[in-house]
Structure 1
Amino acid sequence: MRLGSSLLIDLLICLRFTTRLPLPILAFEPAPHAFAGFSRAVRMIPAAGALLGALAAGVLAMAASIGLPPLIAAPLAIGALLLLSGALHEDGLADCADGFGGGSSAERKLEIMRDSRIGAFGALALALALYLRVASLTVMAGHKLALAGAVLIGAAALSRAAALIPQALLPPARNDGAGFCAGKPEPEALAAAACLAILFALTPIIAGAGLGKALAGAAAGIGAALAFTALAKRQIGGQTGDVAGGAQQLSEIAFYLVFAAGN
């Protein structure tokens, strides 16, 4: 299979597992809805994230073009991200908050994380995460709309690559579920994802941000995911799909905060 077709298949796999976009099934796709090949396909997950970020940036720009202030345009853009992703990562963050905060043992924490009901810790984590994202984007959009749009793209790409960190560093915490089925990313795919993520993280430079600011955003996003990975190791001894979601959310927020600071 040619490289172009292989990359397209990998991009479609990533989009199917991380978004609710209605994607056509191409004739040369071997198993479009299976986990087979996901450990290789993750090399394109930053591109999938960048596409989501670009769509959200489009919503932000359209809202601003009809005269809506940043205080309204920003939550519309974040809402678009939620709809496009099906709140997949937000659900993971809430589950982790409930499990880590409410369980007395690793087994009990995992049991709580699997419960579809949301508890107080999960609700508070979601509320705080949404507030920080909307407030940061509001600040950026009020300062410079193009910068806010570029940050949406960079954060969406970097944070989805950062969600691979728990998979790469920790064993599965249980013998079923998304974290187990996805498997450990292939080293070459992980390296490709990292390079692509850093490239997209520099997108704000196009909108006038300095190189130092962009690199600080990337470092903050990666650092937040690493910190959450270490927390998951202490709490449940491994990783799950929820842990990946939590790592993505904290990485995205950290990236936003760097660009909101000083505006």
Structure 2
Amino acid sequence: MTDTSPSPAEDPNPGASGGPDRQARAGSALAAWQRDFWLCLGFFTRLPVKAVDGSLSDAVRAFPLAGLIVGLIGALIYYLAILIDLSPLLAALLAVAATGIVTGALHEDGWADVCDALGARGGVEKRLEILRDSRLGSYGGLALIFATAIKVSALAALGAPELVAGALVATHALARGVLPLVMSRMGLARSEGLAAQAGRPSVTAANWSLAIALIIAVIAIAPVAALVALLAALAATWLIAKLAQKKFGGYTGDVLGAVEQVAEMAILINLVTLI
């Protein structure tokens, strides 16, 4: 009698081949995304999230996702303020305040320190010394006032809660999505500090961050507006990066904060003209 049973080398059901392996890989990928998300959310915000182990440089693809959460919180505060009949200006002020509170004013602090350092007399070492100084100077104070005023005025000009919500989500996602570009392509200004501890991401990871930020922006606002917002964010990033290279010899954590803040302002100013 001829044996017609399939040999061990033959798979009677090719579609099922590798099923457990694919599921294991999918589960591993999902776990990696979750780890990156919680790591970035814990770093960029003061929200009570679970602590996870990992390197921030390996999690940069999730930077825009943390920005998405911050933008949604600001949008919720704006909507509630309009719901109780507050003016768009006051609602915008509360929304910007909420985003500052939820992030611990992390980026605002960097923006102020960079402006103080740029306004100082002296060479690179003097400027880096001022960057380390936690005290707020006159240049930093003015920088915070104008940055807040620009963001609040832009959101108030948009007015409608749905427009403000889209603008906040797109702005915070894109402004954080561009940070890995600086981290992956610029040298450090000093070997210690927050930026040095964060590590250097790969160019591929930085590109993932930018792509995810753009996808979020396209969903949040019109595609054309999202593209213009991305270009505005990239222009802001290039400007601060060039200035940091000239004045500090590279980037620091404060420089990254300045990039984020200038990107926010540039995006919102452009969105006012487009939405």
Q: TM-score when scaled to structure 2?
A: 0.87
| CA displacement 1:52-73 (0-9 Å, x = unmatched) | 1011101111111111110110
Q: Which amino acid aligns with 1:11?
A: F
Q: Which amino acid aligns with 1:113?
A: L
Choose from 216, 232, 235 the match for 2:228: 216
Alpha-carbon shift at residue 135 of structure 1 (Å): 0.4
* Runs of 4+ in structure 1 over 4 Å off: none
Alpha-carbon shift at residue 203 of structure 1 (Å): 3.2
Aligned partner of residue 119 in structure 2, secondary structure: helix
Q: Which residue of 2 aligns with 1:244?
A: 256
Q: Where in structure 2 are the equivalents of 1:74-113 lying within 5 Å?
A: 74-113=92-131
Tell me if 1:184 matches 2:200: yes
Counterpart-to-counterpart distance in 1, 2:204 and 2:37: 16
Q: In the superposition, relative to structure 1, how do residues 169 and 103 fare at CA in structure 2: closer, same or farther (>3 Å)? A: farther
Q: In the superposition, relative to structure 1, how do residues 160 and 262 fare at CA in structure 2: closer, same or farther (>3 Å)? A: closer
Choose from 105, 112, 115 the match for 2:133: 115
Q: Which amino acid aligns with 1:214?
A: A
| CA displacement 1:71-122 (0-9 Å, x = unmatched) | 1100110011000000000000000000111141110000001101011111
Aligned partner of residue 2 in structure 1, secondary structure: helix
Q: Which amino acid aligns with 2:178?
A: A
Counterpart-to-counterpart distance in 2, 1:10 and 1:256: 27
Alpha-carbon shift at residue 146 of structure 1 (Å): 0.5
Counterpart-to-counterpart distance in 2, 1:180 and 1:9: 21
Counterpart-to-counterpart distance in 2, 1:179 and 1:258: 29
Tell me if 1:130 matches 2:142: no
Structure with bigger gyration radius: 2
Q: Which amino acid aligns with 2:208?
A: A
Q: Which amino acid aligns with 2:76?
A: G
Q: Which residue of 1 aligns with 2:10?
A: none
Number of aligned positions between the proteins: 249
Q: Which residue of 2 aligns with 1:163?
A: 179
Q: Which amino acid aligns with 2:78?
A: L
Q: TM-score when scaled to structure 1?
A: 0.91
Contact 1:39–1:184 (CA<8 Å) still a contact in 2? Answer: yes
Identity across the alignment (%): 35
Contact 1:221–1:252 (CA<8 Å) still a contact in 2? Answer: yes
| CA displacement 1:20-79 (0-9 Å, x = unmatched) | 011124xxx4x2xxxx42111011110111011011101111111111110110011001
Q: Which runs of 5+ in 1 are unaligned?
A: none
Q: Which amino acid aligns with 1:10?
A: D
| CA displacement 1:151-208 (0-9 Å, x = unmatched) | 1000000001122232122111111001111111122321211110111122343xxx
Q: Which residue of 2 aligns with 1:50?
A: 68
Q: In the superposition, relative to structure 1, how do residues 166 and 262 fare at CA in structure 2: closer, same or farther (>3 Å)? A: closer
Contact 1:165–1:229 (CA<8 Å) still a contact in 2? Answer: no
Counterpart-to-counterpart distance in 2, 1:5 and 1:106: 43
Q: Which residue of 2 aligns with 1:68?
A: 86
Q: Which residue of 1 aligns with 2:272?
A: 260
Alpha-carbon shift at residue 262 of structure 1 (Å): 6.3
Q: Which residue of 1 aligns with 2:216?
A: 200
Aligned partner of residue 155 in structure 2, secondary structure: helix
Tell me if 1:14 matches 2:32: no
Contact 2:214–2:226 (CA<8 Å) still a contact in 1? Answer: no
Query: What RMSD in Å do the two structures reach over aligned CA positions?
Result: 1.4
